[in-house]
Structure 1
């Protein structure tokens, strides 16, 4: 290793390696043609490189061809560069990915539940204004056609919608996708989120997957992480027992 470092310490020897990297298997005369020094001086430099195993030579008749040997350089990289650089580069790569994700990706929440019911009944429970009022405390109002508006309307008779949006996908009874936004902010895409209901038969029951994506902030993620389990547990109870839970889960304070 000491011989390698000594060999690389000289600019002329580094240039000779560069020449062999550009075109391997050159003769002494070919190498001298591009180095402004005597053949004897070049021969001495080549001897140092060969002693360090940075080049190897092969006889071809009366000529001696010089070839670059990258193995010692690779050993230097492994011992003196990689073990120091890899952790730093790994950290920099992770920071870069996190920064890019922070710029491009918004929080997503996914909830899966299994219901003793049919896809048609689950679809109805998600879209029927009276049923949603029973277990959600709001009526989901729409004709549920693709492109239609939908509203999440309070059941206190005020007619106020707390959430509005557009039906993006409506494939009864297996898939419903809607956008969510505050009233008056429908045109601001930075405040929109998107909810997908996937309703799939699972043996004799139903697997319901709710994906709430493009949430504007981590605070919104925290809110829906509490809200969806409460709402869907109430829906499950209604479909399986005919009754909602004895208490509205979202009104019970966290212990």
Structure 2
């Protein structure tokens, strides 16, 4: 948390975050253009923001795109704001929605978390039907081969899938790409979104980046902005403690 406040204390770094809030997914050149500062200096400021986990980067071909990461802001909101003034994550949802309104073919939501585990265990937690049932409330069912169908199945015994899709890429334990849609829209390419899980060793822990793109409406963006932090917090708890969180993080506690 000290690194977050140090990063936020500088006016230039706050300006860079404002630029990403206005339009997420910018290149270094796009961030340098409105700032009267040498490219090397902007790069150094971005490095501080990345070290504080306030900015994350995603490679798209030869481009390196920068995204505002909600995780540290979520922690600040939860610790000092949410319990007193606002429902949990409402501020972050609004920030993400405004930042992503202008996005077109770029990822519409990027979330990064760090887990004290191995890439293999994180991969298995994302793809094992029994494990996903424990922390997600659904079972992810597939053979996870490229081109295979996958389903996000309720655990109430009904066998009903709320999400279906195709495995686009499957490289255990580093990368999994899937398409997502509701069952009634299966086969309609314009109704699919796309989720990429990138798993990278980070010292003795794992850096998990989730990129959810091709979301169609503002409501979809708001839903995933709340949903992914909840699901991944539960996943992190399960892998680090052996238990999911004591309360489903997507449920609303009684007043």
Residues 1:197 and 1:103: Cα distance change in structure 2 (over 3 Å): closer
SS of the residue corresponding to residue 183 of structure 2 reads coil
Question: Distance in 2 between the 1:249 and 1:221 partners?
Answer: 18
SS of the residue corresponding to residue 239 of structure 1 reads helix
Q: How many residues align structurally?
A: 155
Verify the 8 A CA contact 1:107 1:213 in the aligned structure 2. yes
Question: Distance in 2 between the 1:197 and 1:250 partners?
Answer: 20
Once the two structures are TM-superposed, the CA of residue 111 in structure 1 deviates from its matched residue by 0.4
4+ aligned runs moved over 4 Å, structure 1: 101-104
What value does the CA root-mean-square deviation take over the aligned residues?
1.8
SS of the residue corresponding to residue 211 of structure 1 reads strand
The correspondence of residues 65-84 of structure 1 with structure 2, limited to 5 A, is none
SS of the residue corresponding to residue 121 of structure 1 reads helix
Question: Distance in 1 between the 2:240 and 2:148 partners?
Answer: 30
Once the two structures are TM-superposed, the CA of residue 120 in structure 1 deviates from its matched residue by 0.2
Once the two structures are TM-superposed, the CA of residue 252 in structure 1 deviates from its matched residue by 2.2
Verify the 8 A CA contact 1:107 1:216 in the aligned structure 2. no
Residue of structure 2 equivalent to 1:175: 175
Residue of structure 2 equivalent to 1:123: 123
Residue 202 in 1 paired to residue 209 in 2?
Answer: no
Residue of structure 1 equivalent to 2:184: 184
Verify the 8 A CA contact 1:107 1:218 in the aligned structure 2. no
The correspondence of residues 28-177 of structure 1 with structure 2, limited to 5 A, is 104-105=104-105, 108-177=108-177
Verify the 8 A CA contact 2:107 2:211 in the aligned structure 1. no
Residue of structure 2 equivalent to 1:250: 250
Residue of structure 2 equivalent to 1:88: none
Structure showing greater radius of gyration is 1
Question: Distance in 2 between the 1:225 and 1:149 partners?
Answer: 25
Gaps of 5+ in 1: 1-100
TM-score by length of 1: 0.58
Residues 1:132 and 1:103: Cα distance change in structure 2 (over 3 Å): closer
